[in-house]
Structure 1
Amino acid sequence: MSHTADPPPTANLRTAVWALVVTALAGFMASLDNLVVTTALPSIRNDLGGAIEDLEWTVSAYTLTFAVLMMLGAALGDRFGRRRLFLIGISIFTGASAAAALSSGVTGLIAARAVQGLGAAILMPLTLTLLTTAVPPERRGTAYGISGAVNGLAVAMGPLIGGALTEHLSWQWIFWLNVPLGLLLLPLARFRLDESRGPHGRLDIPGTLLASTALFGLVFALVRGNADGWTSPQVLTGLAVGAVLLPAFVAWEQRAAAPMLPMRLFRSRAFSAVNAASLLMFLGMFGSIFLLSQFLQNVSGYSPTEAGVRMLPWTAMPMVAAPIAGVLSDRIGAKPLVAAGLFLQAVGLGLYAVVLAPDVSYPAQLPALVVSGLGMGLFFAPVASVVMGSVRPEEQGIASGANNAMREVGGALGVAVLASIFSARGGYESGQAFVDGLTPALWVGAAMVTLAALAALLVPGRRSAQGPGPKDGRPHTGGRPARHPVTTR
C-alpha cells in the first residue's frame, strides 16, 4: 500500500461530519422500526385481517431477526468491508420496507418485517465502527453523543411517528417513510464513508448458527409466552433450545480458531458490565414505553398522535441531554454519566408508578416523563464510548454487534415480561384494570433499570476502562485505543 501525506484538518473534519450524518440517519431508520408499528396495529388488522397473534408478529418478527443476526452482520462487515456491508444492509432494509407497505395480507407483512430485521441487523452494528474510524479519538465522545441522541429518539418516538402517520395518512406510510431515506443514504454512504475492515480471519459459521438459534429460541419463547402459555410445547421448546445452545455456543467460542465473539472479551469488566447494563436498561425502558403508550390511548382517551405528543418530555429529552453527555464524557469519563442516567430512568419509572391512576392528570405525569427522558439521554451517548473503548480497535465491530444484540434481546424481553405482569394483574376491561396491571409492571421495569445502574457502577474508572491492549490483553491506561482500524479509500 502506498503512503500519502495526511489529509488537512478540514478534510478530516469533513469526513467525520459526513460519517456522523450518514451513520446517525441509518441508525435512526433502523431504530425507529422497533416500535413504530405498535400504534398502527388496529388499522393493520382492519385492512389485512388476521388474529391478534398474527398481528403481534408484525412487531416481533422484526425484533427477533434484528437481535439474532446482529453479530453475524458485524462479523460480515469485519470480513468483507464495513462500508460494503453497510450499503447491502441499507438496500435490504429499504426494499423490505417497500414490500411491507405493498403487503396485501398479514403473512406477507410479517415476512417483510423479518427481512427488514435482517437489513437492520447488518447495518446497525456497523454504524458505530464506521463512525469510530472517521472521528478523531478526542472527539468521539461528542460524536457518540449526537449519534446516541438520534438513535434514542428514534426508539422512543416510534409510537408517536407511527400514530401520526397512521392517523393522518395510512399505516402503509410507516414503511414508505423508509424508502426515500434509504435511497438518499445509499449514494451518501458510498461516496462519503471510508472503507474499513476487522481481522481477515475465517467466518465462524458454527458459532453464528449456535448463537442465532439459541437467541431465537429464547426470544421466541419470551415473546410468545403470554399468547401461547408459558407451559405450551412451543414455548417450552424455545426455552429448552436456548438453555442448551447458549452454553454450547460459549463452549465452542472458547476453542474456535476464529471465534465470532471471543470469550476473552468478557474478561474485561467494562465490556461485561456495559452489556449487562444495556440489556437491563432496554428491558425496563422498552416494556414501559410499550405499555404507557397504550395507557395514554386506552385509559386517558388520547388519539395515537395526541398520546405521542404528550410523551415528548420523555422521548425528546435525549436530543438535549445526549449531546451534552457526550461532551462531558470526553472530560470526566463515561461511567458516572451512564450510572446517573440509569438511576434517573429508574426514578422516573418509579414516579410514574406512584402517580398512576385512571384519572391521573397530565401535569401529574410530567415529572416522571422529564426525569425518564433525562436519564435516557445521559445513558445513550456515553455507553457507546464504554463499548468501543473496552475492546481492541480491530474487535470494535464484534463489540458493537454484541452490544446492539443485547439491547434488542432486552427490548424483546421487556415487552414480554412487563406485558406478562400486566396481564396477570390487570387487563383492558376498564381503566382501573389497566392501572392495576400497569403499576406492578412499571415497578418491575424500574427495578430492572436499577440493576442496570448497579451493573454500570462495575465499569472501571476512566483510566482503566479502555479495553485490552494489542498484545497482552491488559487494559490501556492512556484512555484511548492504541491504533485505528485499517482504512482505505
Structure 2
Amino acid sequence: MTFPRIARPAAAASGSSADGGGQTRTGLAMVVLMSGVLMTAVDTTIVVLALPEIQRSLNVALTNVVWVIISFLLVITLLATQVGRLGDMFGRVRMYEAGFAVFVVGSLLCALAWNEVSIIAFRIVQGVGGALIMANSGAVIADLYPREQRGRAYGFTSLGWTIGAVLGVVLGGLIVTYVSWRWIFWINVPTGVLAIAVALRVLRDKGERTRQRLDPLGMITLGLGLFGVLWAITKLANGPFDAATAAFLIGGLALIVLFVFIESRVPAPMLPLRIFKVPTMAASLCASLFQGLASFAVLFLLLMYLQGPRGLSPIHASLLLLPGYLISAGLSIWAGRLADKYGPVLPATAGLALQVVSLLLYAQLTNSTPLWWIVIVGTINAIGACLFFPANSSAIMKAAPPDMFGIASGMMRTFANVGMVFSFSVAILVASRSISRQLAFAIFVGTTSLHGQVADAFTTGLHAAFYASVIFMVIAAVLSALRAGGIRRPGRSGSSLQPAVPDAVGRFAGRGERAT
C-alpha cells in the first residue's frame, strides 16, 4: 500500500534524498490522519455493543442509555464548524493534535465513569476531541495534497474510518463478552498517546492563517434545537405523546428556525449560508446529510435484528458484519482513485445506488433468512459506502475556497453528523411502531431478545425502518446526480476537477479573489 505523495516542483527533483524524506514525512502524516479518523470511528461503533453492559454496570435508566451515543455525536455535530474555524485561525495541525489530547483525556475519564451522569458527561468530552480531529483532518489533507490527488487521499481516510468501524464492531463484541466494557475506552489511551507523539514529529501547518470569528449564539441555538427534537423523538420511542414531549418537539423546531435566521444575520455564522453559492456545494453537503440519515441506522437495525429475533450474542452478531467492512477497507483507496480519474459525481452516485439496493434487500429480512444472506447484503452496502465517502469529501473540498478549508471540512462533518444523529433516533422510533415501545427499546439496547409472534411483529417494524432509510438514500442519490453539470470532468492529462466558481465565491472567501 502506497500513500499519495505531494507533487514536487521540477527544481526539487534533483535532491532525491530530500524528496524521499519529504515523501516519507507525507506518508507518516497520512498514517497520523488515518489513525485519528480510525479512533473516532471505533468509538462511534464500539459503544453500541457495550450499551447493555454500561446500562447494567452504572445503573443507567433504560430510556437514557442511548444518550451515551447521542451525546458524543451531537457534540461533534455542534462543534465541527467552530473547531474547523479555529484551525483556520490558529493552525489546522495544532487543532488536530489538540483533538487527540482531548480525546485521550475523554477516553480515560469514560473508563473511570461511576454513574449515568458521569459517563454521558465524559462522552461529551470525547466528542469535543472527536470534533477537533474530524473537522480538521479534511483541511489538513487539503493543505497537504494538490486537487488531483485529494480523492485518493480521502480514500485513505475512508479506509481509516472503515478499519475503525471494523475494530469497533469486533473489539466491542470481544471486550463486552470476555473482558469489561471499560476497556473499550482504556484502549484509546496508549494508542492516542502514541499518535500524538508521531503527529508532533511529522505534521506541519502549511495553510495560511486567517482571522475568523466564532458563532456561540448560533451554536447554542442549534444545540438546544437539536436536543429538543432528539429528546422528543427518543421519548416517543418508549412512551406516549404527551404535553412535555410536544413542548420539546415544538420548542426544538422553533429554535432550529431561529438558528437559520441568526445565521443569515451574524457576520461570522456557524454555518455560512453563502457557501451554498459555490457550485455543487449545496448538493454535496445535503447528499452527505441524507446519506448519514439513511445509513447510520443500518448498524443499529441489524444489531436489533440479530440480537433480538435471531437471539445472537454480541460477538456472533459482530462477526456477521465483519466481511462487508473488510471488503470495503480493501476498496477504499481504489474508490478514491476513481474520484480523481472520473470526477466525484459518478462514484458517489453509484455508491449511493448500491446502498439503496442493499437497504431494499435488508427490508426483505425474515426470522428464517439465512445468515449468509446478511453477509452478502452487508458487503453490497459497504462497497456503496466506500464509493461515496471519498468522492463526496473530494467534491466538497475541491469546491471550497482555499482559505475556507477548515470551515468547509467542518460543515461536511456537521451535515453528516446531523444525519447520523437523527438516523439513530428515527430508526428506533419507526421500528417501535409494531411492538410495545418499552420492549422495542429494551431489544435495541440489547437487554432482551424475542421469539415467536412477537419476533415476527418486531421484524415487520424493522422493515418499515429500512424502507424509511431507502427514501432518505434515494434523496441523497438524486442530490449527488444533480452535481453532474456543476463539476468539470478531468481531461486526458488528469488535471484536477475545477468547479466553475463565480466571482461571488471570491467575495465569499473574504479577499475579492477567485477561488481556485
What does 1:91-170 align with in structure 2 at a 5 Å threshold? 91-155=101-165, 158-170=168-180
Q: Is structure 2 residue 469 aligned with structure 1 residue 437?
A: no
**Partners of 2:477 and 2:408 in 1: how far apart?**
20
Q: How far apart in 2 are the matches of 1:412 and 1:256? A: 26
The 10-residue stretch of structure 1 (10-19 or 339-348) with the greater mean CA deviation from structure 2 = 10-19
For structure 1, which segment, 454-463 or 273-282, has the greater mean C-alpha deviation from structure 2 after superposition?
Answer: 454-463
- CA drift of 1:224 comes to 4.0
Structure 1 position 204 matched with structure 2 position 229: no
Which amino acid in the other structure matches residue 232 of structure 2? Answer: A
Shift of 1:452: 0.9
Distance in structure 1 (CA, Å) of the matches to 2:273 and 2:322: 40
1:409 matches 2:415: no
Name the amino acid aligned to 1:379: F
Q: Tell me how far 1:122 sits from its aligned partner.
A: 1.8
Range that drifts further, 253-262 or 305-314: 253-262
In the alignment, the residues of structure 2 paired with residue 210 and residue 91 of structure 1 have an alpha-carbon distance, to the nearest angstrom, of 28
- Matched with 2:363 is 353
Find 2:432's aligned residue among 406, 423, 431: 423
Q: Conserved in 1, the CA contact under 8 Å of 2:283 and 2:480?
A: yes
- CA shift for structure 1 position 180: 1.1
Render the CA deviation track for 1:370-426: whole Å, top value 9, x for unaligned.
Answer: 211111111121111011012101111111111111111111111111111111023
RMSD over aligned Cα, in angstroms? 2.6
2:488 corresponds to which residue?
463
Matched-pair contact (CA < 8 Å) for 1:274–1:455: yes
Flag the 1:99–1:450 CA change in 2: closer, same or farther, 3 A: same
Query: Could you list the runs of 5+ residues in structure 1 that have no partner in the other structure?
Result: 476-480, 485-489
**1:383 and 2:392 are equivalent in the alignment:** yes
**Alignment-derived partner of residue 46 in structure 1:** 56
1:231 to partner: Cα distance = 4.1
Task: String of CA shifts for 1:163-222, please: whole Å, max 9, x gaps.
Answer: 221112211111111111110111222221112355213333333333333333334434
The match for 2:446 is none
Q: What are the superposed Cα offsets for residues 13-58 of structure 1, whole Å, 9 maximum, x if unpaired?
A: 2333122111111011112212311111222233222321232221
Alpha-carbon distance in 2 for matches of 1:281, 1:211: 21
Separation (CA, whole Å) in 2 of partners of 1:26 and 1:117: 13
SS for the counterpart of 2:73 is: helix
| Aligned match of 1:311 | 321
Q: Provide the rounded CA distance (Å) in 1 between the counterparts of 2:212 and 2:53.
A: 48
Q: Is the 8 A contact 1:391 1:467 kept in 2?
A: no
The answer for the alignment partner of 1:478 in structure 2 is none
The correspondence for 2:373, drawn from 355, 364, 374, is 364
Q: Does 1:337 align with 2:347?
A: yes
1 CA distance for matches of 2:216 and 2:58?
A: 38
Note if 1:245 corresponds to 2:262.
no
* Residue 359 of structure 1, CA deviation: 1.8
- Check if 1:61 corresponds to 2:86: no
Give the equivalent residue in structure 2 for 1:171. Answer: 181
Q: Secondary structure at the match of 2:212?
A: coil
CA gap of 1:404–1:326, structure 2 versus 1, over 3 A, is same
Using the alignment, how far apart are the partners of 2:467 and 2:166 within structure 1? Answer: 19
**Matching of residues 179-218 of structure 1 within 5 Å:** 179-195=189-205, 196-218=207-229
CA–CA separation in structure 2 for the residues paired with 1:44 and 1:114: 16
1:37 partner SS: helix
Give the distance between the partners of 1:170 and 1:422, measured in 2 at CA.
30
Q: Describe the shift of the 1:229–1:314 C-alpha distance in structure 2 as closer, same or farther (beyond 3 A).
A: farther
State the distance in 1 between where 2:196 and 2:502 align.
Answer: 34
**1:267 correspondence with 2:277:** yes
Is the contact made by 2:46 and 2:184 (CA closer than 8 Å) also made in structure 1? yes
C-alpha separation in 2, matches of 1:321 and 1:238: 43
- C-alpha spacing 1:249/1:12, structure 2 compared with 1 (3 Å): farther
Map Cα deviations across residues 415-467 of structure 1 (whole Å, 9 max, x no partner): 11111111102345433132121111111112211111111111144318755
- What's the TM-score, normalizing by structure 2? 0.85
Q: Which amino acid aligns with 2:399?
A: S
* CA distance in 1: counterparts of 2:36 and 2:65, whole angstroms: 26
Are 1:290 and 2:290 an aligned pair?
no
Deviation at 1:70, TM superposition (A): 1.6
1:261 match: secondary structure: coil
Q: Which amino acid aligns with 1:411?
A: M
1:398 corresponding residue in structure 2: 407
Gapped runs of 5+ residues in structure 2?
Answer: 1-8, 444-449, 490-496, 508-512
1:110-153 deviations in Å (ceiling 9; x for gaps)? 11111111111122110111122112332211111111122144
In structure 2, the CA distance between the partners of 1:238 and 1:81, relative to structure 1 (3 Å rule), is farther
* One-letter code aligned to 1:199: T
CA distance in structure 1 between the partners assigned to 2:410 and 2:348 by the alignment: 19
Alpha-carbon distance, 1:345 to partner: 0.6
Stretch of structure 1 that moved more, 296-305 or 391-400: 296-305
The answer (yes or no) to whether the contact 1:223–1:416 under 8 Å persists in 2 is: yes
Q: TM-score, normalised by structure 1?
A: 0.90
Instruction: Provide the residue aligned with 1:473 in structure 2.
Output: 505
Could you tell me whether the CA contact under 8 Å between 2:102 and 2:129 is conserved in 1? yes
Q: Tell me how far apart the structure 1 counterparts of residues 128 and 403 of structure 2 sit (CA, whole Å).
A: 24
Q: Which amino acid aligns with 2:462?
A: L
The residue identity in structure 1 corresponding to 2:367 is: P
**Number of matched residues?**
474
- CA separation of 1:231 and 1:458: change in aligned 2, threshold 3 A: farther
For residues 436 and 54 of structure 1, the distance between their equivalents in structure 2, rounded to whole angstroms, comes to 25
Whether contact under 8 Å (2:75, 2:131) holds in the other structure is yes
1:252-280: CA deviations, max 9, x gaps? Answer: 33333333332111123411111111111
Kept after mapping to 2: 8 A contact 1:157/1:308: no
52-61 vs 381-390, which moves further: 52-61
